[in-house]
Amino acid sequence: MRRLRSRETTDLLLALLAFVLLPAGLFLLADHADPDLWWHLRTGRLIWETRGVPRADTFSFSAAGAPWVDHEWGFEALAYALYRLFGPFGLFLLKAAALGALLWLVHRLISSRAKALSVRVCVFSATSFVVLSLGSSCRPQLFTYLGCAALSLWPAAWLLVPWSWLHGGFLAGACLLLIFSFGRRPASPGLGGTLVAIAATAVNPYGLGLWRRVIDTLFFVPLRESVTEWQSVWSTAVPGYRVCFLLYAAALAAGWLWHGRRRAAERASWLAAAAGLAAGLVAVRHLPLLAILAAAPLAGALEALRAAPGLRPKARAADGAFFLGLNAALLCVVFLVASWALYWLPIRGGIPLGAIPAQTAEDAALGPRPGVVLYPKGAVRFIKENGLSARLMNPIETGGYLLWHLYPQCKVFIDTRMDQVYGEEQFRAYVDFAQGGPGAQSVLAKYEPDLVLHDALDLALPLKLTGLGWGIVYRDPDYLLMARRSGPFARLVKDYAQYPVIAPRSALPWLFP
């Protein structure tokens, strides 16, 4: 009896650690603001103010009036409404609800194939780690991960319609339904029902233009050249992504050879996992999708391995060792995460819960910076305090932040909507300018910006601009702001030349708001 109670206590502790505490810790520690978040919110505000979706760009001075098909308009309207009601906590609630629902669906999916707690813990921990590490930003693709998990559990074709209002990843859901139809999955809507649901996604403000926009994005070359998450796992500079992909590929191959090829009833799940493997190979951003689609077949294969007649006695003994080792490992991980999140960051470093800085000191001079995107909070404050209305040449990753805080007072040259609004030619002009290349002067002549915001540690462009009659008006450890010496902000250039001061870094420049 005592041994039974001890095992029940161990099971409960393991379930609590694996299914609640570890995912919650990862969720809280992945809370920096993604560069896309800002323009999503600004677009959501525009949708509510105009009572309609945007059809032409109004945010930039470089592509003003360019056609804009916004395939994430539903997410933007929802995110801004929650922000309007609850402030930044509303965005936290949105992300928590979406990820909580996603992990619940993943757990249901795994539990439908495996009864042993050891198997469920193993597969769920791997899936939640990949999803929360790579896909937990407050972004529209959360709903694509959620939709794929929902379809894997309940293949309801009607989900495609609201999904198409939230994110262009509804095409992944359409492919998943086609795979289920081909694999003859029970309860699948069939080929006819799937095609009707796909056609119904044309019921949106942009009609068939939405499909064309999403397909064009998939083949937009600059995304794969410049954005890590759009690169293949083989071409990315981050080896951890390749390791993750190879581990899943090896696990799926072994599971298929042991179990999958013998179970015709599970053919659809294995086909979906193979599609997830192909998607993960094509782009890093699809690795969470791979983890979600691989969860069910891997759980089934591990359960079959554990229940194999020749392995049953060994499985019981292995379970005991597995529980003991995994409990110890998870306890150590949770202790370290809790110590870092609840003591080291807020008490020793003065950092609010949820921040992940690479350093905690707010340097007042040039020096190492956190390993996430820093936003120009100081430069924005300077622009507001001086009442500057300007055409602002800016780094691409700061465009959304500038739009959120300065539009319509200032318009930007570019932001991360490069596949939706700006196009390849303008993106390459931006890259040449930002690097201080030979075309920088022609870009200035063509677009005539009033201010240039640039990385304070990259001096190639500032030196070039200095020779072209520009001067610094503001500088902090991360960014500098320049204007023409003979332009409307000549007084600010002269003032800075007389009193050149490096302003202190703004507090927590990687967090919202």
Can you give the pLDDT at residue 482? 96
d(CA 265, CA 269): 9
Q: How many residues does the chain have?
A: 513
Q: What is the pLDDT of residue 258?
A: 78
The angle subtended at Cα 132 by Cα 197 and Cα 141, nearest 5°, is 30
User: Which regions in the chain score pLDDT beneath 50?
Assistant: 1-5, 323, 340-371, 510
Phi, psi of 267 (to 5 degrees): -60, -40
255 Cβ contact list (under 8 Å, min separation 6): 297, 298, 300, 301, 302
pLDDT at 27: 62
Count CA within 13 A, CB hemisphere, residue 279: 25
pLDDT tens for 473-500 read 999 988 999 999 988 899 999 999 999 9
Q: Residue 166's closest CA among 72, 95, 83, 43?
A: 72
Contact 144, 102 (CB under 8 A): no
Closest by CA position to 44, among listed 85, 88, 74? 74
- pTM for this entry: 0.86
Burial 362-391 (b: 16+ CB within 10 A, else e): eeeeeeebbebebbbbbbbebbeeeebebb
Positive or negative: CA dihedral 506, 508, 509, 513? negative
Model confidence over 195-248: pLDDT tens digits?
999 999 999 999 999 999 999 998 888 888 888 889 999 888 788 889 889 999
pLDDT for residue 80: 96
| Distance, CA of 398 to CA of 473 (rounded, Å) | 18
Do strands 390-393 and 410-412 pair parallel, antiparallel, or not at all (unpaired)? parallel
At residue 473, φ and ψ (nearest 5 deg) are -115, -20
In the β-sheet with 451-455, what is the strand arrangement from edge to edge?
410-412, 390-393, 451-455, 479-484, 470-475
